[in-house]
Amino acid sequence: MKFKQLSLFLENKPGALSAPCKLLADHAINLEALSVADTKFFGVLRILVKNWREAKELLEDNGYTVKVNEVVVLEVNHQAGSLAKILQIIDQEGLNVEYMYACPASATGKAALVFRFDDPDRAEEKLAANDQITLLEMDKIFL
């Protein structure tokens, strides 16, 4: 299933990461998954939250630039070779991965892989048709 992911561009300086996290926490918005990538001058905070519209509005109202992307979330067993197996299927389907990150899937006791594909609709269609892949919904990933 596709999820809406929020991406925030942050300056690479002390406090830049904690400020949006505190803002969301102060409004009882839980970060279900996150990834931080950086360069010398800025970073990108990518987050999944249950109510992405509320989080986006709150962040924008507080001066953050927020981009919304669609990502596809897959379930995997937490064992050696699980990622390699998924990537082999992705390669066989001719899907291009722009980036990915992983997080625990609390409700399932497994792991969740968050993928940003260059064509999320096609990726979701191809992966949903493969009986070796489990696409997850928000309530099945996070408590």
Q: How large is the average pLDDT for residues 33-62?
A: 93
Q: How large is the average pLDDT for residues 120-124?
A: 90
Q: Which residues pair with 115 in a beta bridge?
A: 72, 100
Q: Quick one: angle between helices 120-128 and 82-92, nearest 10?
A: 110
**What DSSP designation does 96 have?**
P
Q: The pTM is what?
A: 0.86
Q: How large is the average pLDDT for residues 3-27?
A: 94
- Bigger pLDDT: 108 or 12? 12
Sign, Cα dihedral of 52, 55, 59, 62: positive
Q: Which residues pair with 76 in a beta bridge?
A: 111
Q: What's residue 75's pLDDT? A: 84
Per residue in 73-103, pLDDT (tens digit) is 988 887 788 889 899 999 999 999 999 998 8
Q: What's residue 81's pLDDT? A: 87
Judge whether residue 143 has pLDDT over 60.
Answer: no
